[in-house]
Amino acid sequence: MTDSYTAKDITLMRQAIAQARLCTPTPTAFNVGALITDPHGRILSTGYSRQFPGNTHAEQCALQTLLTTTNSTPDYKDLVMYTTMEPCSERLSGNKPCVERILEAGIGSVVIGVKEPDNFVKCTGAQMLMEKGVRVVVIGEEVEEECRKLNAHLDDE
């Protein structure tokens, strides 16, 4: 895992945070925002938790949108996913974890706002991505408070 990020990464993460603010809070799930960019930082798709029916996660929605709206097939290994929280490695619902979806798509880099808290499961998403050769960056301190506030509704859990 690397802590090497740029001002552009922070700007794009704040756009992912804006996506997360579109979530309808629920006591059984996190509010997460995600976006996928080309290598130059041009946004290709966005997503947020529960955007689509079926208990969908932000990363899943961003990938689904990318697949349905891109006219060409980009080289996914050159794409960057920004997500306000570490992609899930396990889902209690039995749905496919976001880490698997990211690996299947072949996304080359994932920039994370904060690690997933242990509210529901012990997440190992960042580790799993790195083990498969995905570049993982955790911005952390610069956006940590903003990302955590998105899930203040779970603080009493």
Which active-site residues does the annotation give? Answer: 59
Q: How many CA atoms lie within 13 A of 120 on its CB side?
A: 14
